[in-house]
Structure 1
Amino acid sequence: MLNELAILGELMEGPKTGYQLRQAMENTLGHYRKVSFGVLYPLLTKFEEQHYITLKIDDSPKRKKIATISEKGKSKFRQLMLIKVPENAYTDDIYRIKLDVMQHMSINQQLVVIKEYRNFQNKLLMDIDMKLNHLKSKNTKDHFYAQQVVKLRQKEGYVVLGWLDEMVHLITEEGQHGKTS
């Protein structure tokens, strides 16, 4: 789901090469989270076979393949955006992708994505509180350092919640950033 959503979401903004898609995913997920071209290009071929995109070779000397989303691909993108994000090692990444491309959804759908991500963050924070209480009951040097790492995760969670509040404000109050294309 992660790569499919990222690729289709980026193509909602306009045609792109594989390199441009890879760069866009890196911008969203972070510098060290590169999708390999060995994953990207077979996925583009699969999307073309499923009629989600068209691939055309441009006239440049490098003969780059340009991917363009089709109406069927736009429909698939919207379908992926509405799917509940599974809780696993990629949950946070999928939410980041959804947040990056949600301008192609209605404001109400954008707010649903934010609410679901908020619920996920609150669930993580509850788990962190339980871990901290457990670690506090142990009073050793090893547990002190483990507590500090868990507290770091806790602070990250609170930062995300604050950011989500800002996004809701930007989308609902200012409206300008929440417009769909």
Structure 2
Amino acid sequence: MYELFVLGELMTGEKHGYMLQDVLKNAVGLGRKISSGTLYPLLSRMTESGWINLRVEEETKGGRTRKIYEITEAGRDRFQLLMAEPLDFILDAETQNAFRFKMVYFQYVDKEVRLACLKQYLLILERSVIHVLQFESHLLIQKPEPEKQRVQLLRVFDHRKRLGEVEIEWIKEEIERVRTQQDE
């Protein structure tokens, strides 16, 4: 997922490592951070793979050298491959983040790739809501004890179901928007 993010950010232009780390920190949301110990080894591996180039600038005002990264043609190919790669079929935080990262970089891929990603995410969401509905039905029929816990669990499922329904509706609208938009 971070590989997709780095390549996607570099599709917009060259960036230094600190800027990549700062943008990523804000992109993944509160409570989830990417450390220098994760990002810089990733950047090294991506450089070794030929997906990005590293240029070292002379010392900055703070006395440090600045490492500037730019995407290569092989990196652009890798980016296209990652964007077309299917999402994991489990609705968890990783899948949601991967989907959101892909959406940020939709402007760099063909309409077919955008639509495929949106449709796949829609299926994942629909499957998740069906799972919630089935378990909710089971709780209503079986009425397991303790009742207070069952009632609260039903409230949690109602919350998940409503969030899922709203997200499904948004994705359907986005599919239609992308489907009808003119190729640029």
Q: Does TM, normalized by the shorter one, top 0.5?
A: yes
**Greater mean deviation of Cα atoms: 14-23 or 102-111:** 14-23
How far 1:117 moved relative to its partner? Answer: 0.5
Q: How many Å separate the matches in 2 of 1:173 and 1:122?
A: 23
Matched, 1:119 2:123: yes
Of 30-39 and 162-171, more deviation after overlay is shown by 162-171
Equivalent in the alignment of 1:98: 102
Q: Which residue of 2 is the match for residue 87 of structure 1?
A: 89
Dislocated runs of 4+, deviation >4 Å: none
State whether residues 122 and 172 of structure 2, in contact with CA within 8 Å, keep that contact through their aligned partners in structure 1.
no
Q: Which residue of 2 aligns with 1:153?
A: 160
Query: Is 1:48 paired with 2:47?
Result: yes
**Which residue is equivalent to 1:143?**
150
1:65-112 deviation line (CA, Å, top 9, x unaligned):
111110000101111111112235422221111111121111121111
Assess if the C-alpha contact under 8 Å between 2:47 and 2:54 holds in 1: yes
SS for the counterpart of 1:55 is strand
Q: Aligned residue for 2:136?
A: 132
By how many angstroms is 1:161 displaced? 1.3
TM-score normalised according to structure 1 size: 0.87
1:165 maps to which of 167, 172, 176? 172
Task: Confirm whether residue 36 of structure 1 aligns to residue 38 of structure 2.
Answer: no
TM-score normalized by the length of structure 2: 0.86
Unaligned runs of 5+ in 2: none
Larger radius of gyration: 2
User: Quick one: distance in 2 between partners of 1:49 and 1:79?
Assistant: 18
- In 1: Cα distance, 2:75 partner to 2:34 partner: 20
What residue ranges of structure 1 are gaps of 5+ in the alignment?
none
- Identity rate, percent: 29
Q: State the aligned residue count.
A: 176
**Which stretch has the larger CA shift, 21-30 or 89-98?**
21-30
Change (3 A) 1:167 1:23: farther
The residue type equivalent to 1:157 in the other structure is G
